[in-house]
Chain A
Amino acid sequence: MSVAGPTVEDMTEQRVRWTAEQVLALAPDAASRTAGSKLGTAGPWSETGSGEGTVWGRCRGSGSRPYQTVVDLAGPAYTCSCPSRKFPCKHALGLLLLWAGGDGAAPVSAEPPGWAGEWLAARRGRVEATAARTEGGSASGPADPEAARRRAERRAERVTAGATELEQRLADLLRGGLASAEQAGYGAWDETAARMVDAQAPGLAARARELGAIPASGPGWPARLLEECALLHLLDQGWLRRDTLPDALAATVRSRLGLPAPADGPPVRDHWLVLAQYDTVDAKLTTRRIWLHGAGSGDTRLLLSYGAAGRAPELSLPVGLALDAELSGHPGAGRARASLGERHAPPAPAAFRPPGVSTADAADRYGAALRDDPWLESVPVTLERVIPVPDGETWQLADADTDTALPLTRTARSRPGLWRLTALSGGAPVTVFGECGHRGFTPLTAWAAGTDEAVPLC
C-alpha cells in the first residue's frame, strides 16, 4: 500500500463498491427492483456523496421537496423521507445503484450534510447502546430468575400436553390406516396444527400442517406420509423423554419444537462470506435464510430473520460480499444457526470462495449430520468441479471426475437459477454452493472456473 499511487486508492474505492445485482438483491419485491433501477441514474439526484460506509443523496420525486435518502452500508440500514412503507424504498435502492455504478455519481466526501449526519449519528449511538446493554445484560441476567423459571415450567407443561395429544392423533391415524388420509384433506391437520400453536409448540404445528399437504403431493405420497409421521413421532418421543437424552440432543429437540433459545455460543469473529440469501413466504410470515462462510474458521452458518405478512425481513446481505463480524451460535446440534453480533466493517467484495467437496462427500456429510439431528432436511455444502446435466425430465449435478451425481430437488428444477447455473457452466466444471438433503441438491450460488465472482441462483 505504501508504494501506492492514486491507482491503488482508486481500486480500493472501487473494491468496496457493490455490484448492481447485489444492490437489487436487497429489493423487497419485483416492483421495487424496477422502480429502484429507474432511479439509479444521476438525473433526479442531487447532493449525493459517500464516505465511511455510508451513502446519501436527495432525490427529486413528484412532490415539491426532494426526498432525503441515507444508507448505512454496515447494516445495511436505510432512512428516507419518502412516505413509502417498502423497506428499503426505491429511493434507497436507486441511491445504492447510483453509487454502485461508480462514475463519480456519489463522490467520496469527508462530511455528510446535516440531514444525513443526524440520522447516522443517532443510529450509530443506538447500535452502540444496544451493544453496551447486551454486554451489561449478560452479567445481570433476567430481572426475576424465579418468575422466569416458573414461566418455562408452565410452557413445558403445555408442550407436553400438546405432544401427548399429537401422539394420540398419530396413533389413531396408524390404527385406521394412511389410506383414509387421502380423503381427510387439509382440514383435520390444520386443526391439529392450530392446537399445537395453542400448546406453544410452533415446531410441532408446522410439521402437522405439512402432513396435511402430503396426500396431494403426487405419486409415492403414502411412503412420504409414513416417513414424516414417523419423524414427528420421533420428535414427540424426544420431548417426552428429554430427561433421558444427552444434553446436545435435548437442545436439538427443543429447537426443533420451536422453543426459544437465545444465541449463547461464544462470539466468533471472522470474515464471513455471504454465500446465499433467499426467502420463503407463507401467508403470515416471510422467512429469510442467509448462509455465511467463515474464511478463517471454515464454518458455514445460517442467519434467520423474519418479516410479517408480505414485508421483507430487515436483515439483507448481498451475496458475494464478506463482512468482518462476530457470530454467536444457537444451541441445538447439527444446526448451524447463528446470530449476527458486532460488525467491525461494512460488507466488501470478497476475493475467495469456500472450498468444495465431491458429490459422494456431500451425501456422506448429510448422513453424518443426521446422527446429531435426525430431523435435518439438508446440510449446506459446496460442491467442487460439478457439471449441471439434464437427465430426462430432471437435472443433476455430476462430478466432473467421477461417475456419480446428485439429483436436483424439485424446487431447484423450477427456478430460473437453474438456467443461470447451466449457462455459467456451459458444460464445464463449476463450484456450486447449496443445500444437500434427502430430496436432492438445491443449488444456491455458483462460481465459474478462474473467477471469484459469486453468481446467485435463487
Chain B
Amino acid sequence: MYDLIIVGAGPAGITAGIYAARKRMDFLVVTQDIGGQAALSWDIENYIGYQFITGMELVKKFREHLEQFKVGIKEGEQVNLISRYKDTILIETDKGNYESRTVVIASGRKPRRLGVDGEDGFKNRGVTYCATCDGPLFAGRDVAVIGGGNSALDAVLQLSKISGRIYLIDAAPQLRADPVMVEKAEKSGNVFIYNNTMVERIFGEKFVQGISVSRSGRTEDLDVQGVFIEIGSFPSSGFVNDVAKNDTGEILVNCRNETSVPGIFAAGDVTDVPAKQIIVACGEGAKAVLSAFEYNNKHA
C-alpha cells in the first residue's frame, strides 16, 4: 500500500512528485509519457525564471529536478480505472494493479479527434496531431491544417516557412486565434483560409492524398499529403467514473484540490481550474500533494 500514487507526469504530476519526495511519502508516478502537453509547446515565454524556453528544454529540467530524488516512475503505463474501496484507492493499469491511500490525478488533456472517415486509418500516414514533431517531414508538400484557434495558427505559421500550399480549414465563420497570428498567416502568401468549412473525409492509398471539404453545400477535394488536426483537446479523465466532473469531463476540485471522493485529489489541466497554463498546473500539483499529505496524517 502506497501513501500516494500520482497519475501523469506533465507539469502538475512532476511538481506533485517533487513535493511528495520532499515530504518523504512512499509514492509512485504512473504515466504514459513525461512532459505531457508542455513537451509539445514550442516557445514558452511565461514560465517565471525563464524569459524564453522551449517546452522540450523546460520538461528536461523538470525531469532532472524530479530524478534528483529516488522516485518510482512507471513510464508507458496506462491507467484504466481508479476507484475507492473502503479506505483504499485502487488503481488498475494495463500492466498491473496498485493500492494507495491517496491518489493525485494529473493526467492532463489529449488532442481532440475530428471524427471523420480516414482519420484513424491514416494516422501517422499523413494525419498528425503534433505539428511540432512532424511538421518538418512535410517540407515542400501541400498540407491542410484543421482548426481556427491559436494552436492551429501556430501550426500554420510553422508550416508556412517550409511547406507548399497550406489550407487552413475552420468550421467557424471567423478564426478564433489572436489577430497577430492571423495577420501573419494572411501575409505569408501560401496560406489559403477556408471559413465555414467542414472536413468530410480524408482519403488516399497507403498515405494521405487529399481531403474532401464542404462549404455551403458544395463539396471540394483538396490534394494534400499532410493533415494537421488542431481542434483543441479534452480532459483525460475517462478512467475515473466516481468523481464529479463538469459537462466537458473536467474533474471538479475545490481550493484544496479535493475531488468529490475522499482520498482522490486532482491537479492541472484535467481539472475545472480555468487557467490552462504550465505555471498554474505546477502550483496545483504542489497544492494537491500537500492536501494528500494532510489527509494521510488525519487518517493515519
Indicate whether A and B interact. no
